[in-house]
Structure 1
Amino acid sequence: MILELADFSIHAGQNAAFEEAIARGMSTVISHAKGFEGFKLNHGIENPQRYVLQIFWTTLEDHTVGFRGSPAFTEWRAIVGPFFAAPPVVEHFELIGKSA
């Protein structure tokens, strides 16, 4: 399993609308992508304009080729992109250990 970690900074005062957009984008776009295995959304405490989105993919290519190379990526960005105060930072991680 691959973890996509996306770090977002959004415009001030847009939290509720951004959270709704993320939920809509996940349910209507990303959840239908090949290799999608789930997600978690975390909201910053010290910085309320910061969010960290974790998306779990079966393979790296499911995200980088299958999803990002598809029209669905354009749909996703149209839903969440207007809230970005800066381009998101996106990285991928491979699970090497976990607790029970």
Structure 2
Amino acid sequence: MILEHCDIEIDPTKGAEFEEAILRGVNTVIAKAKGFQGFKVNRSIESPARYLLLIYWDTLENHTVDFRGSDAFADWRAIVGPFFVKPPFVEHMTLVGKSS
């Protein structure tokens, strides 16, 4: 399993609208993508303009090729993109360990 780590910065005055949009976008667009396994989204307490979106994929290619190369990616960006103050920082990670 691959973890997509997406660090997002928005205008903090639009937090409520962004939260609705990101949840709608994940649930109606990304959740239908090949290899999607689940997600978490968190807002920073210290920096309320910052959000962390974590998406679990079966493979790296499910995100980088299947999803990003699809029309669904444009649909996703149309929903959340207007809120970004700069491009999100995205990394992919593999699990090293976890608590039980």
Task: Pick the TM interval, shorter chain.
Answer: over 0.9
Q: Tell me whether 1:71 sits opposite 2:97 in the alignment.
A: no
Which letter maps to 2:13?
Answer: G
Q: 1:77-96 residue pairs with structure 2 within 5 A?
A: 77-96=77-96
Q: 1:1-100 residue pairs with structure 2 within 5 A?
A: 1-100=1-100
Tell me the number of residue pairs that the alignment of Structure 1 and Structure 2 aligns: 100
Which letter maps to 2:43?
Answer: H
Pairwise CA distance, 1:51: 0.2
Segments of 4+ moved more than 6 angstroms: none
- Cα deviation, 1:48-76, whole Å, max 9, x if unaligned, reads 00000000000000000000000000000
- Cα deviation, 1:65-90, whole Å, max 9, x if unaligned, reads 00000000000000000000111000
Cα distance in 1 for residues equivalent to 2:26 and 2:42: 14
Pairwise CA distance, 1:12: 2.6
Specify every segment of 5 or more residues in structure 1 that has no aligned partner in the other structure, as ranges.
none
Pairwise CA distance, 1:47: 0.5
Cα distance in 2 for residues equivalent to 1:12 and 1:26: 20
- Cα deviation, 1:5-52, whole Å, max 9, x if unaligned, reads 000000130000000001110111000000000000010111000000
TM-score relative to the length of structure 1:
0.98
Cα distance in 2 for residues equivalent to 1:99 and 1:48: 28
TM-score relative to the length of structure 2:
0.98
Identity %: 63
